[in-house]
Amino acid sequence: MATRAEFLERIRREARRTDGLFTAATATRPARPEEAAEAVRRQMAERWPEALDLFRREFDRVGGVFHRAADPAEVPSVVLEIAREEGATAVVAWDPPVLGLDLRPRLVAEGLAVAVAASDPADETARRRHREESARAQIGVTGADLVLAETGTLILLSGRGRPRSTSLLPDTHVAVFDRSRLVESLAQVGILLEALHVDPARSMSGAMINFITGPSRTADIELTLTRGVHGPKHVHAIFVAAP
Amino acid sequence: MSEGLLNVPFSERAGAALGDRFLQEALTIATTKFIDLRKDSFAGFPEGDALRDQARSIKEATLQKLDVYLGQLADNVERLGGRVHWATTGEEARETILQLCRDRGVRMAVKSKSMATEEIELNEALEKAGVTPVETDLGEYIIQLAHEKPSHIIAPAIHKTKGQVADLISEVAGRRLAADPEVLTAAARVQLREKFLQAEMGITGANFAVAETGTVVLVTNEGNGRMVTSLPRIHVAVMGIEKVIPSMTDLVVFLAILARSATGQKLSSYTTLVRGPRQPGELEGPEEFHLILMDNGRSRQIAGTLREALYCLRCGACLNVCPVYRQIGGHAYGHTYPGPIGILLTAMLRGDESVKELAHASSLCGACKDVCPVRIDIPRMLIELRERLDRQKIAPWAERFAFGTLRRVLLSPAAFRLSSALGRVLQRPFLNNGRLTGLPLVLSRWTRTRDLPPVASRTFRERWKDLQ
Amino acid sequence: MITCLGDLFFPEVGVAMVKLLRRLGVTVEFPEGQTCCGMPLFNSGYHPDAAAVAARTVDLFAGSEHVVVPSGSCAWMVKAEYPGLLAHDAGRRAAALALAARTRELSQFLVEVLGVETVASSFKGRVTYHDSCHLLRGLGESRCPRALLQGVKGVELVELPGADECCGFGGSFSVRLPEVSTAILGKKLDNVERTGADCLVACDAGCLMQMGGGLSRRRSRVRALHLAQVLAGEEKA
């Protein structure tokens, strides 16, 4: 096998043989991403109501179900309602400090099993247990790091106390967010992603970012649309109104 | 592709496809649906045209410094704890994966849809080595069960009826399932869920890889891309070198147009950004991440006539509008990549000789170029491929002779007039109610199914005298 | 520019075009040495041969103020490909560019140069229009032919479903892969017959040969005509 140097040299040689097909440019990146991100946040602090309206429409369009809670204390009731509708008996959730609320008191009292992700450095036993809990649960409750209105998309970072499978294994995914998460356009998401990666070790504790736009779907059998192929069949978003 | 299939001439493979009534119906329904979805999506998206121009520009600019961006990508992946492998050929890419399986005791590998792995025929190699590959994209799973190849870049099983799918999935389930997509999808979900949780290795392709951050990007709808990159302890991504892009700002340009071009969605259900193996403190994620950068004939085209084909996003839009693809489907092309872009990619990967028939499997209508999100000028490159085939004398002697004769006639008005006079005489036995039918030799290919107007009793230049 | 197919197989189209242009006050000349624009050679990859034919054509039409072609593909060939084919021909490079600028397909000439969209014609009938690939995508033209058809009082224009889909001609494609070409044609003609039109109109001899040949084979009552014939008010003999 070629070494890295040999491999790249071959490509360099080919690229040098021509000026290319036309004068071309990559996209213009923000010169100071963190400042640009701050500007987006300031903009959204004003525009969040419009963004929320747009999000509701687009989220509905991709098959999501929207809910509203006045404050974090109301969220468990909304989750309970969803659980009742789905006949769910087990819930898995992000670590309460990460989620910003603890579902356990209310839900356990109503007879549901609730597992939460641990934020401590995990060992094999903890990993295995979490995987089983996640696989058993019918509902997975997460936060949302960004909520993209233009496309009805929830953007989730993985990491400590915020595992990937919570929004993937259960049949139903519920994401909780407030106004500070809303952005309007993909272009803004681009700016925020640039900012996030300026010092990734500081800004992210995990290796994955997921953009989730509605439930899992396929049309591979005679072009008939079906949901819940491998990922969740249902996606809910709970907007917490309190600032 | 299996040698046997390619021993049958293309025209015969095409003929078989034309005679397959279910395939014809399935192709019409599927391609029409995709065309309409794409059209509607871009109709409500005025920024779309400018974004396509920009996407093309980004791809071209990246190619101009491809070595730099690949180096940057590799540095970042390694900084994150991932390993980069430099595979000049498909063989090397396969061998890298097999070696990993041997070293790590991998017995089962779950795969997310990847044309790059189809290109190198990875599944066969894995099976021979005693590793079970499991395709998890529903369409790919179906054709894997059927021991077939995909017939479309993004909808691999459109040539299968739900009855056929029911047969395949029922056999795995061990009981008779209804030919209902909901039922079958639910069954596949259960069958494959087990595999995701058991497999030691997950194998994906990469829609993009961001050089600036070391991120591999997967665009999917089913969730298998997420499963495969989070549950098994090893993740291997196989990537053509042309998939690298410079930054996150570039990425969102492509995300804005890719799903729209493929399925008419604003974004697919899942866009997954993977930065190396799991971080310390993550409960889930692979322990190891391997990125295989694969050349397999691509770098030769950087300064070659097929350079533009390196922009391809594998969206399948060109397949859906191609009048030839719409009639014959993917299998008749006989290679991994079908449709208009498939002809170019096949030439790129397997050389000019491999497309001596396929280069002419196009009426040059230009519909593909119209819909390509990165504006690849496929018709132009098909003509250039034909030019190369003629120059290298790969085209048949009789054809080259015929066109040589044509040239002589077209360069001499006297010869042209003589040909028309000759034509008028020779055609008499074939005149039938003012039309030509039953013509001999190569022209019989026309008159088998269509009438031909006769050479006029007075050509225009003969009538011009009366008009002066 | 009459085109090779036009000269040999559809002289009535050329005649119709000349009469139409004269009626509109245009002085028409016919450089007699012309044969073909060279596209068949070009599309099959015989580029030096195509360049030789292009060179000859550029010389032949050097003195023409406007060049009008009753064919989208030939007009496209001259406008889009001649400059490239003759780029290394120092003597003709500029002439090729100039010819490209002066050459127009018939409907574009009528509308853009003469400013005419309403032509008085004796033609009557229900008509449907097929967009030829090179006119539509190569020259970006779909409006002018339809406007001209609608401008004729006796014409009822019915939109053809899939009008922008290829007819399956593709030059040598039609005999290299006749079954595929015929299957594509079948789809097109099914759409044509479903419109209930008496007449199918196109601006390209190749398309008309393919579609006309198919209609005649299936003994359809639909006739295939060139736009020039509808506008000039003459019918195919």
pLDDT of residue B396: 84
Q: Under a CB-based contact definition with an 8 Å cutoff, are residues B322 and B368 in contact?
A: yes
d(CA C199, CA C150): 14
Residue appearing with tokens 């999917």 = B220
Q: Nearest Cβ partner of A8 from B71, B96, B165?
A: B71
Judged by 3 or more CB pairs under 8 A, whether A touches B is: yes
Taking CA–CA distances from B369, the nearest residue in chain C reads C137
Among residues B391, B425, B458, the one where a domain terminates is B391
Tokens of A30: 């923000």
Q: How far apart are CA B235 and CA B231, in angstroms?
A: 9
What CATH code is carried by the domain that includes residue B80?
Answer: 3.40.50.10420
Which has the closest alpha carbon to B288: B199, B202, B196, B197? B202
CATH of domain C125-232: 3.40.50
3-state SS, residue C184: helix
Touching, A vs C (3+ Cβ pairs under 8 A): no
State which residue of chain A sits closest to B181, comparing Cα positions: A221
Do B185 and B331 fall within a single domain? no
Separation between Cα atoms, residue B158 and residue A198, nearest integer Å: 43
Nearest to B302 among A14, A197, A228 (CB): A14
Pairing relationship of beta strands A146-148 and A182-183 according to DSSP bridges: parallel
Q: Which of residues 3-32 of B touch C (CB under 8 A)?
A: 11, 14-15, 18
CATH of the domain at B329: 1.10.1060.10
Q: Count the domains in chain B.
A: 3
Residues B351 and B446 both lie in one domain: no
- Residue B13 within any structural domain of the chain: no
Same domain, B279 and B363: no
CA dihedral A35, A40, A45, A47 (to 10 degrees): 160
Closest to B230 (Cβ–Cβ): which among A4, A164, A228? A164
**The residue to which tokens 């339809």 are assigned:** C146
- With both helix axes pointing from N to C terminus, report the angle between B10-18 and C178-194 in degrees, rounded to the nearest 10: 30
Instruction: Report d(CA B227, CA B382) in Å as an integer.
Output: 39
- A117 located within any domain: yes
Whether B238 is in a domain gets the answer: yes
Nearest to A222 among B66, B161, B268 (CB): B161
Contact list in C for residue B327 (CB cut-off 8 A) is: 180, 183-184, 187
Residues B258 and B182 in one domain: yes
Residues B115 and B227 occupy one common structural domain: yes
Q: Report CA-CA distances (Å) from B228 to A237, B93, C166.
A: 25, 19, 42
What is the spatial distance between Cα B173 and Cα B163, in angstroms, rounded to a whole number? Answer: 15
B401 lies in some domain: no
What is the Cα–Cα distance from A74 to C146, expressed in whole angstroms? 62
Is there a single domain that holds both residue B366 and residue B417? no
- Whether residue C116 is predicted with pLDDT greater than 70 in this model: the reply is yes
Residue with tokens 């701050």, as numbered in its chain: A38
* A209: CATH: 3.40.50.10420
Give contacts of C 51-90 with B, CB under 8 A. Answer: 52-53, 56
- A229 contacts on B by Cβ (under 8 Å): 138, 185, 188-189, 221-224
Query: What does pTM read for this prediction?
Result: 0.95
The residues near C119 (Cβ < 8 Å, ≥ 6 apart) are C20, C24, C110, C148, C151, C152, C231
C47: nearest CA partner in chain B: B387
User: Would residue A47 count as lying in a domain?
Assistant: yes
B305 contacts chain C (CB < 8 A):
no
User: Which residues of chain C are within 8 Å of residue B460 when distances are taken between CB atoms?
Assistant: 2, 6-7, 11, 14-15
Query: For chain C, what is the mean pLDDT?
Result: 95
The Cα-based distances of A94 to A100, A160, A162, B270 in angstroms read: 9, 9, 5, 20
Tell me the C-alpha distance between B13 and B263, whole Å: 28
* Contacts of C among chains (3+ CB pairs under 8 A): B
Q: What phi and psi values does residue C164 have, to the nearest 5 degrees?
A: -85, 5
Of the residues B249, B273, B296, the one at which a domain ends: B296
Q: Does C190 touch chain B (CB under 8 A)?
A: no
* Residues B230 and B287 sit within 8 Å (Cβ to Cβ): no
Nearest-angstrom CA–CA distance, B266 and B272? 15
Helix H or strand E encompassing B382 = helix B378-391
Whether residue A2 lies inside any domain: the answer is: no
Give the number of other CB atoms < 10 A from CB of residue A69: 20
Are C106 and C203 contacting, i.e. CB atoms less than 8 angstroms apart? Answer: yes
Place of tokens 């490209």: C100
Q: Which chains touch A (3 or more CB pairs under 8 A)?
A: B
- If one counts the domains in chain A, the total is 1
| Among candidates B366, B453, B458 on the partner chain, residue whose Cβ is nearest the Cβ of C212 | B453
Q: Could B460 and C40 be called an inter-chain contact, meaning their C-beta atoms sit closer than 8 Å?
A: no
Task: Determine, for residues B360 and C173 on separate chains, whether the beta-carbon distance falls below 8 Å.
Answer: yes
pLDDT of residue B461: 92
Domain range for residue B319? Answer: 304-391
Query: Are B308 and B192 found together in one domain?
Result: no
Segment holding B220, helix H or strand E: strand B215-220
3-state secondary structure of B51: helix
Residues 6+ apart with CB under 8 A from A227: A63, A215, A216, A217, A233, A234
**Average pLDDT in the C75-89 region?**
96
Which residue of chain B comes nearest to A95, CA vs CA?
B283
Interchain proximity B181–A127, CB inside 8 Å: no
Chain A residue numbers with beta carbons less than 8 Å from the beta carbon of B293 are 7
The residue written with tokens 């000759």 in the block is B422
Asked if residues C103 and C75 have their Cβ atoms less than 8 Å apart, the reply is yes
List beta partners, residue A183: A148
Q: Which residues of C touch B339 (CB under 8 A)?
A: none
C182 touches chain B (CB under 8 A): yes
C5-38: per-residue pLDDT in tens?
999 999 999 999 999 999 999 999 999 999 999 9
Name which of B185, B190, B250, B175 is nearest B221 in CA terms: B185
Give B-chain residues touching C173 at CB under 8 angstroms.
360, 362-364
The pLDDT value recorded for residue C237 is 38
Contacts of C19 in chain B (CB under 8 A): 467
The DSSP 8-state label assigned to residue B375 in this structure reads -
Are B316 and B263 members of one domain?
no
- Do B143 and B180 share a domain, yes or no? yes
Half-sphere exposure of A242 (CA within 13 A, CB side): 8
Rounded CA separation B66/B83 (Å): 19
Residue-wise pLDDT tens for chain B (468 aa)? 445 567 899 999 999 999 999 999 999 999 999 999 999 999 999 999 999 999 999 999 999 999 999 999 999 999 999 999 999 999 999 999 999 999 999 999 999 999 999 999 999 999 999 999 999 999 999 999 999 999 898 889 989 999 999 999 999 999 999 999 999 999 999 999 999 999 999 999 999 999 999 999 999 999 999 999 999 999 999 999 999 999 999 999 999 999 999 999 999 999 999 999 999 989 999 999 999 999 999 999 999 999 999 999 999 999 999 999 999 999 999 999 999 999 999 999 999 999 999 999 999 999 999 999 999 999 999 999 999 988 888 778 888 888 999 999 999 999 999 999 999 999 999 999 899 999 998 899 999 999 999 999 999 999 999 988
* Nearest-neighbour CA in chain A from B216: distance (Å): 10
Tokens of A1: 């096998």
Smallest Cα–Cα separation from B293: which of B460, B449, B116, B128?
B116
Contact state of B384 with C38 under an 8 Å Cβ cutoff:
no
Q: Is C179 on the interface with B (CB under 8 A)?
A: yes
Q: Determine, for residues B295 and A10 on separate chains, whether the beta-carbon distance falls below 8 Å.
A: yes
The alpha-carbon gap from B444 to the nearest alpha carbon of chain C, in Å, equals 9
Confidence of residue C41 (pLDDT cuts 50, 70, 90): very high
User: Tokens 């196989």, residue?
Assistant: B238
Closest Cα to residue C102, out of C70, C66, C69?
C66
Contact partners of B by the rule of 3+ C-beta pairs under 8 A?
A: A, C
Residue A14 lies in a domain: no
Host H or E run for residue B108: strand B108-111
The helix/strand/coil state of A159 is strand
At A150, phi and psi to the nearest 5?
A: -50, -35
Burial class (CB in 10 A: 0-12, 13-18, 19+), B118: buried
Give the pLDDT mean for A118-123: 77
Q: Which of B242, B245, B237 is nearest to B209 (CA)?
A: B245
Secondary structure of C77-145 in HEC code, one letter for each residue: HHHHHHHHHCCCCCCCHHHHHHHHHHEEEHHHHHHHHCCCCCCCCCCCEEEEECCCHHHHHHCCCCHHH
B410 and B386 fall within a common domain: no
Distance from CA of B383 to the nearest CA of A (A): 17
Q: Is B363 within 8 Å of C133 when comparing Cβ atoms?
A: yes
Residue that is last in its domain, among B245, B265, B296: B296
CA dihedral A175, A181, A182, A185 (to 10 degrees): -100
Please give the residue range of the domain that contains residue A111: 33-240
How many other β-carbons are positioned within 10 Å of the β-carbon of residue C183? 24
Nearest CA in chain B to C177: B11
Give the distance from residue B196's alpha carbon to the nearest chain A alpha carbon, in angstroms.
Answer: 10
Residue B29 lies in a domain: no
Decide: helix, strand or coil at residue C168: coil
Using an 8 Å Cβ cutoff, are B320 and B28 in contact?
no
What is the gyration radius of the CA atoms in chain B, in angstroms?
Answer: 26
CB proximity C206 to B under 8 Å:
no
In C151-204, alpha helices (H): 173-176, 178-194
| ipTM field | 0.97
Nearest Cα to Cα of residue C217 among B445, B452, B19, B428: B452
With an 8 Å Cβ cutoff, are A127 and B284 in contact? yes
Specify if B31 maps to a domain: no
Q: What does the angle CA B83 – CA B87 – CA B88 come to, to the nearest 5 degrees? A: 150
Is the CB of C53 less than 8 angstroms away from the CB of B410?
yes
- Which residue of chain B has the CA closest to A28? B249
pLDDT at B4: 58
Q: Would you say A220 and B155 are in contact if contact means Cβ atoms under 8 Å apart?
A: yes
Q: Which residues is A227 bridged to in the sheet?
A: A217
Q: If we measure between CA atoms, which residue out of B100, B154, B326, B228 comes closest to residue C188?
A: B326
Residue B151 in tokens: 């017939």
Task: Decide: helix, strand or coil at residue A146.
Answer: strand
